[in-house]
Homo-oligomer: A and B are copies of this chain.
Amino acid sequence: MYSDHATTSLDPVEQLMLELVRQGTGDVGRAAAHHLSAGGARIRARLALHAGRALGRPESESIAIAAACELLHNASLVHDDLQDRDERRRGQAAVWYRFGDAMAICVGDLLLSAAYAALGAAGAGTARLSVRMHRRIGEVIRGQCADLALQGSADVSLESYERVASGKSAPLLVLPLELALTLAGKEEAVPAAAAAGSLFAIGYQVADDLQDVTQDAAHQELNIVSVLAASGESDPHQRARELAILRFRQAHAAATGLPSGSGELLATQATQRADRLSRALEPA
């Protein structure tokens, strides 16, 4: 099992992403590079590099997958920020806010296209990866629309909340594992990876909502705390924390079972998040 992920360098991934958005694209490429320069946790890139190595794949292939997943995630952020009119992203102005709506559409399109071009580095396996990536992108787009449709609605069930949280985030968390498993000929493990990604995505969204309760309430945005409060929970904060912990623990269990330790990084991430939330539950 490969577990040296803490020291993994993302430099070749960052380099590939920049190359793909900068080639002959002028102002749009510069705006895309500006967006990418704000960084982020690059969790999808790390998941891909880790899974690729755990499965014994060539490094160039893992870098290609990592760049593809990260470019895709950033494409979705640029278009989501425009759709949601979120003005800030990673401490800087969102692309639409800084460069205008038309440019934000172009930047997101460029990042999406670059994601597929990154898969080109996987050579003969590219066709299979492209088909799988398209299916996950379809899920994400459907999830984003479902999310937009639920915003501002007063009566959202916990089930709807979880479906939306999973729908808009799980596909791109699953993708790094799915692509690495596909190249390794372990397609039979993809459903387990999908389950782990879905549980993680729900835990992540609930934890994120817990940090944004006041802000979301002010903007009438969907938040787990208001969903639980509306369903009659007496302590919705506490209940939300317990839910996030449960989903993270379940994600850990599902990820641990993936072949050759390919899900180990996702499992570790889930456990760390569950532990952090558990400590917050203890009396001070």
List the interface of chain A (C-beta within 8 A of B): 20, 23-29, 75, 79, 82-83, 101-103, 105-106, 108-110, 112-114, 116-117, 119-124, 126-128, 130-131, 133-135, 137-139, 141-142, 144-146, 148
Contacts and interface: CB of A to CB of B under 8 A. Distances in A.
Given A112-B109, A124-B124, A127-B124, A102 B138 contact: no
Nearest to A140: B109
Nearest to A22: B138
Contact of A141 (B101, B106, B116, B138): B106
Contacts of A122: 127
**Identical copies of this chain, number:** 2
Given A127-B120, A137-B110, A105 B105 contact: yes
A133 B117 CA distance: 8
5 closest A-B pairs by CB: A117-B134, A126-B127, A116-B116, A120-B131, A83-B102
Contacts of A121: 127
A67 B5 CA distance: 41
A105 B127 contact: no
Contacts of A123: 127
Given A23-B138, A120-B126, A123-B127, 20 more contacts: A23-B135, A24-B135, A24-B138, A26-B142, A28-B141, A28-B142, A29-B142, A75-B109, A79-B105, A83-B105, A102-B145, A103-B145, A105-B105, A106-B144, A109-B109, A112-B113, A113-B133, A116-B133, A120-B134, A122-B127
Which of A26, A109, A124, A139: most chain B CB closer than 10 A? Answer: A109
Summarize A's interface: helix, strand, loop or mixed.
helix
Contacts of A138: 23-25, 28-29, 110, 113
A110 B145 CA distance: 12
Contact of A109 (B25, B27, B108, B114): B108
A28 to B, nearest CB: 5
Contacts of A124: 124, 127
